[in-house]
Amino acid sequence: MAAANRLASSSSSSSSEGSLYDGFLSFYGEDIRTGFADCLYYTLVGAGIRTYRDEDELPKGDKIGPELLTAIQESIISIPIFSEHYSSSKWCLNELTQISECRRPKNRIVFPIFYKVEPRDVRNGKEIHAKASKEYQMRVDNYQKQLVEINAKVFEEQQKHFEETIVQGWKKALTEVGELNGWHLKERM
């Protein structure tokens, strides 16, 4: 009930703050787009809460990254929905990092939902951190193989620093948001 009151009060005040959206949904589409995420989205919109969802709000032909980051920055509330494969998506992890970075300085509200994953796995980095690191490392390894002939030594040093910085940001965001009190949904909806 308190969460609904916070959401409703933010919805009425967001237009005065100049925010484009009241809420931003971050989720891995293949896991839950046509089920839980759709249900939540339509419930929020039906309650008069302007909610960003990429398939509805992202204009075709626009670059994905800048639009998503702007939507997160301009949303009062972010709702990351952690699901089985959430951390295998670079986009989801980048969104989560932005959500985490906006949380304190911009006084944004974050309502995490743990959909068929254990909150402790998100907080402690058990499987989710490992999946994120492994998936990203596989991409980096493939990229490195393609560029081995071109300044391999310089590339390795720069890429190692880049990958460590990115993965550390993802881990920090997963841990920080995973520590927030949220909803834990174990069963199918």
Give the span between the Cα atoms of 90 and 160, in whole angstroms.
Answer: 17
Task: Give the Cα-Cα-Cα angle 50, 114, 79 (nearest 5 degrees).
Answer: 20
The Cβ-side half-sphere exposure at 63, using a 13 Å CA radius, reads: 4
Query: Residues 55, 67, 95, 127: which is the catalytic one?
Result: 95
Give the span between the Cα atoms of 47 and 144, in whole angstroms.
Answer: 48
Q: Exposed, middle or buried, 144 (CB in 10 Å: 0-12/13-18/19+)?
A: middle
Give the span between the Cα atoms of 74 and 23, in whole angstroms.
Answer: 9
Report the candidate in 64, 63, 70 with the shortest Cα–Cα distance to residue 24. Answer: 70
Instruction: Please confirm, yes or no, whether 95 is among the known catalytic residues.
Output: yes
Active site residues: 95
